Amino acid sequence: MKQFSAEIFTPEAANKIELPLLLSEVIAGFPSPADDYIDKKMDLNEHLISNKAATFLIRAYGDSMIDANIKEGDILVVDRSMDAHNNSIIIAIFNGELTVKRIKQRAGRLFLLPENPEYPLLEITEETSFEVWGVVTYIIHKAV
């Protein structure tokens, strides 16, 4: 099992990508024409990125976060300007390795929690080399 590796990208917001935004809820039943419900155009950059200068995209590899719905090949939107809080999913450097984990505080101790029972908790101690790179704000993956 692979822990995590990554490709890191910066978002390109110079070109707007506007897609139709539908007002109607999607019901898994009998289809209806959607054109009557188009309200306006939505730019995904505006929706997914709140701080362009502090945001990067990273492609996730590995299976340590599958129970958090992060799968092999997913694109993670990461904001470096946000503070990591208890239970945040973060990108961090842990003992020289880039990783994505949930940060967890328990009984005054700090851990990086994988979302796969096959992986151990990683405790952050005074001896640990640790740095938060940013907070994961969105997960983008293909539908099956």
Query: Among all residues, which ones are annotated catalytic?
Result: 64, 101
Q: Which residue from 118, 101, 119 is spatially nearest to 110, judged by alpha carbons? A: 101
Q: 3-class DSSP state for residue 13?
A: coil
How far apart, in whole angstroms, are the C-alpha atoms of residue 48 and residue 78?
A: 10
How many other β-carbons are positioned within 10 Å of the β-carbon of residue 77?
19
Q: 3-class DSSP state for residue 128?
A: coil
- For 102, residues 6+ apart whose C-beta sits below 8 A from its C-beta are 65, 68, 87, 88, 89, 90, 112, 113, 114, 115
